Amino acid sequence: MKFAQIKTAMIDNSELIITDLEITILNGLPTFEISGLNNYKGQQCFSRVRAALKNNGFTIPCGRIVCHLTRDIKNGEIRSLDLALAVAILLADRQITNVNHSMWFIIGQLSLSGKVLPVNGVFALSRDERIINCRWIIPFKNQAELKCEDYSDKYVVDNLNQAIEIIENKNIDKFMAEHTRSDPLKIKPEPIYELVGQPLAERALLIALAGRHPLLLIGSPGSGKTTLANQAVHYMPQLDPDKLDQVRRIYSMYGVWNEQIDQGIIRPYQAPHHTVTQMALIGGGHDLVPGLITYAHNGILFLDELSEFKPNILELLRQPLSEKTIELSRKNISVKYPADFLLIAATNPCPCGYRLENDQRCQCGAAEIKRFKRRLSGPIMDRFQISAIMNDLTQTDLIKTAENNLLPQTKINKIQQLIAKAQEMQSERCNAHKISFEYNGQIMIQMFVDFFAINIQALNHFNQITQHHLLSPRSYLALLRVARTIADLEQREEVSEAHLHEALLLRANPDIY
């Protein structure tokens, strides 16, 4: 009986499918049949494999080739099957021999010349216990994604002939996978230049990072809004191993592997242009692929020129900001992706951008300003728990900024330590109340005052001050959240009136935006 069986894998809508690929060669006219997969896609796969086999000196079996996948594939990326199918055909036709009678797990894309191309999902596969007892063959270019304790029985190849050598147990040691060290030049963090003259905005950013509070920067052109937002990702403490694995899995599954993120040097950071489409931002399409908000998971999503984004695009962010996930649906298929990110946005206060300056540069009329402010809906503005005004730099500050002084690493480390200590307090508070950890800016609980340990006298006095501010319930709770984070940064157990007042200072005045 001409038969072969190999394990392989592919991604089908966000699901990592591991399946047995079975091949048998029967008497009859030369045909290729496949079950478990759309026949058109199956024929495409076989065409690539047939060309690769012929171009490497192998013969195509003169009979009826029947292929069976033990799992049904609906919308999967089938190119990862190529190498497994080629090896299985050669084994079934007895052109090569599985010397050790091992169960092989093989993935890889084949070019028509027989070169093995990289595939998606290798990191996720390295964490999957369903194939822990198999011997592996994967593309050489995916070796950096292979994260496991034991690299024995795992091999990397550049071409089809190398895979054949491994199956036949020839010179296999030279193909063995190993833990790769990243190129220092590729993982070296970008230099961070010092921003002077914006202490309020820097303080707002520190609080936003410590408590995961959505932040809005409002200011004149050239005041440093984008520079400050770009620095934010370098101030965030390194991810813990579990959260880093979540990010690695996303980046591996969808072919956007990043060595700096893999090494934990920086957090994910996405800054889409204001012309971004719905599909690019939140995901979707025929295969329901994730969008930028998923690639920003456990990191930062920065929206520069916020008022230039289409209103319908901004409204799409309301669900992920509150639920930390995004659900995409098409026909009878529904996929849920993680989308737990810190939102930072920047905008001008008026069409020309100079309304908040103490000079005559702003020539915008009241009607123009009103139309400009109307571009951002109330519910979206309500999501920003912190706002900071950034005015033009003084002449002295401009000169210092022009010197392009690098921010000392000691200062970056100090900021990271401050944020880490504040987040430790948040974690301890959650543990004391026996609830799962959530940041101050996201936690959904009853009895806010008791949980956040807010001084009652301070709160009563604060309530008298804020009763004329026309705050929505979400805005009022945001003030309490921010005040709690300010207290955490100071390592204080109780929220005082000073903390509440600073939180109010970091709230946008409705007359401004």
Domain co-membership, 114 together with 214: no
> What's the pLDDT at 12?
83
Per-residue pLDDT averaged across 315-326, rounded? 92
Domain co-membership, 283 together with 394: yes
CA trace torsion 432, 433, 438, 440 (10° rounding): -90
> What's the pLDDT at 187?
60
Could you report the per-residue pLDDT of 275-308, keeping only the tens digit for each? 999 999 999 888 888 999 999 999 999 999 999 9
> What's the pLDDT at 249?
92
Domain co-membership, 207 together with 316: yes
Domain holding 397: CATH number? Answer: 3.40.50.300
**455 part of a folded domain:** no
Which residues, other chains included, contact 232 with Cβ-Cβ below 8 Å and sequence gap of 6+? Answer: 205, 208, 209, 300, 302, 342, 344
Per-residue pLDDT averaged across 436-454, rounded? 87
**493 part of a folded domain:** no
**229 part of a folded domain:** yes
Domain co-membership, 346 together with 249: yes
CA distance 397 to 195: 9
Per-residue pLDDT averaged across 234-254, rounded? 92
CA distance 507 to 471: 10
**CB burial string 430-445: b at 16+ within 10 A, e below:** beeeeeeebbbbbbee
Domain co-membership, 166 together with 204: no
The pLDDT of residue 182 is above 70: no
Nearest CA-CA partner of 296 in 246, 242, 346, 227 = 246
Pull the structure tokens for residue 13: 């809508």
Domain holding 70: CATH number? Answer: 3.30.230.10
CA trace torsion 175, 178, 184, 190 (10° rounding): 110
Cα–Cα distance list, 28 to 31, 40, 95 (Å)? 8, 21, 19
The pLDDT of residue 358 is above 90: no
Domain co-membership, 209 together with 167: no
Residue 193 DSSP code: B
* Environment class of 485 (CB within 10 Å of its CB; exposed 0-12, middle 13-18, buried 19+): buried
> What's the pLDDT at 233?
92
Could you report the per-residue pLDDT of 81-94, keeping only the tens digit for each? 999 999 999 999 99
431: confidence class by pLDDT, cuts 50, 70, 90: very high
39: confidence class by pLDDT, cuts 50, 70, 90: confident
The pLDDT of residue 185 is above 60: no
Domain co-membership, 165 together with 213: no
Per-residue pLDDT averaged across 322-343, rounded? 90
Which segment of 120-134, 208-222, 458-472 scores lowest on mean pLDDT? Answer: 458-472
Helix (H) or strand (E) holding 68: strand 64-69
| The total number of structural domains that make up the chain | 2
186: confidence class by pLDDT, cuts 50, 70, 90: low
Q: Which amino acid is at 211?
A: G
Helix (H) or strand (E) holding 243: helix 241-253
Domain co-membership, 307 together with 204: yes
- Partners of 24 in beta bridges: 3, 66
The residue range of the domain holding 50 is 3-175
